[in-house]
Homo-oligomer: A and B are copies of this chain.
Amino acid sequence: MLISCAAYQDGKKLGDIDAGRIADYLGLPGCFVWVALHDPTAAELGDMQRRFSLHPLAVEDAQTGHQRPKIEEYGDMLFAVLHLVEPAGEDFNVGELAVFAGPRFLLSVRSRAEKGFQEVRARCEREPEMLRQGSGYVLYALIDAAVDRYFPILDKLEDELESIEGLIFAATGVPRGNIEALYALKQRLMIMKHAVAPLLEGISNVSGARVPALCVGTTLYFRDVYDHLQRLNQTADSIRDTIATAISVNLSLVTLQENETMKRLAAYAALLAVPTMIAGIYGMNFEHMPELKWRYGYVLSLAVMAAIDFYLFSRFKRSHWL
């Protein structure tokens, strides 16, 4: 679906144009055409491929989807793929933004994602001095917007991790639930990691040693995006590390607690077993058991049971068995 198609010259919008008239604008000096597609059909994409002479491999990637994030050069063109991660209930919905940027045009293809990039177009049109730098700047602006959307998602994952951590040490929670929650959190984190880490690598190629012609005027901006991605990447690594520790600490604490309980139950059982044994002995039916005839035999036997248990109880307490 074609969302918009407009021509810009020297940083100013000439106006929305019909897709059929794109060729007329590609030749104007200082002019570039910006087209946005959303979940395009193969025909729509094929049409754009012809108009902008896109490389078939890049078009195939945009069509197929499920690519790793990347920024590739095809001659004087750049082809970028980014993941668009949108929370969908408990899970993440991963869409894609594919961007073809040439000296005279920029084509963005959004797939399987709800939220559009209209605000990027608006921002660019408010900054004519930046937009004058052409499609390289628009490419930056789109990537920057997509990357900025990663921050609240990662923040939310961090918050969830913190709330699970609280449950771990409170220990009134359900340990099984904590592990399941941490496991699910890790899987969502990996989706973010797969969105961020390869892109970091890709961006370094347009802000590092050899910069493609298209981005020459905007390297500082791409370096800024690179810096954001590094922050995201570090946060993701940090969360991952903490999840691993939290899983093992959670298990440790639960094991400790269960062991404590078992130990206490075993110690109480021992306290019960002593009187049971003594009672058993005086329950024997031997004819000659002198104690049985004692006046205070019964009371004495109870006293002995109590004394032994009292002794054991205090000893267990001292040994931290109870």
Query: What is A's interface to B at a CB cutoff of 8 Å?
Result: 55, 57, 61, 67-68, 70, 72, 74, 169, 175-176, 179-180, 183, 186-187, 190, 194, 198, 220-221, 223-224, 227, 230-231, 234, 238, 241-242, 245, 247-249, 251-263, 265-270, 272-277, 279-289, 291-298, 301-302, 305, 319, 321
Pair A297/B286 contact, Cβ less than 8 Å? yes
**Which of B175, B183, B269, B282 is close to A245, meaning CB atoms less than 8 Å apart?**
B183
Complex-state Cα separation, A248 to B183, whole angstroms? 11
For the complex of A and B, 7 pairs with smallest distance between CB atoms:
A279-B280, A282-B284, A286-B298, A283-B283, A265-B266, A258-B259, A272-B273
Complex-state Cα separation, A292 to B293, whole angstroms? 15
Pair B262/A251 contact, Cβ less than 8 Å? no
Copies of this chain, tallied across the complex: 5
Complex-state Cα separation, A255 to B180, whole angstroms? 14
Chain B residues with Cβ below 8 Å from A281 are 275, 279, 302, 305
Q: List 27 A-B contacts (CB under 8 A).
A: A68-B227, A68-B231, A179-B249, A179-B253, A190-B238, A194-B238, A198-B234, A247-B249, A251-B256, A254-B256, A255-B255, A259-B262, A263-B265, A265-B267, A265-B270, A272-B274, A272-B276, A273-B273, A279-B283, A279-B284, A280-B283, A283-B284, A285-B292, A286-B291, A286-B298, A287-B292, A288-B295
**A248 and chain B: residue at smallest CB distance:** B247
Chain B residues with Cβ below 8 Å from A251 are 252, 255-256
Pair B280/A286 contact, Cβ less than 8 Å? no
Complex-state Cα separation, A269 to B162, whole angstroms? 39
Pair B282/A287 contact, Cβ less than 8 Å? no
Shortest CB–CB separation between residue A279 and chain B, in angstroms?
3
Shortest CB–CB separation between residue A247 and chain B, in angstroms?
7
Complex-state Cα separation, A68 to B224, whole angstroms? 12
Complex-state Cα separation, A230 to B247, whole angstroms? 30
Chain B residues with Cβ below 8 Å from A297 are 286-288
Shortest CB–CB separation between residue A321 and chain B, in angstroms?
6
Complex-state Cα separation, A281 to B284, whole angstroms? 8
Complex-state Cα separation, A67 to B228, whole angstroms? 8
Shortest CB–CB separation between residue A74 and chain B, in angstroms?
7
Complex-state Cα separation, A89 to B4, whole angstroms? 52
Pair A263/B266 contact, Cβ less than 8 Å? no
Known: A186-B245, A256-B258, A276-B276. 10 other contacts (CB 8 A): A67-B227, A68-B227, A176-B253, A179-B252, A247-B248, A262-B263, A269-B270, A275-B280, A288-B295, A288-B297
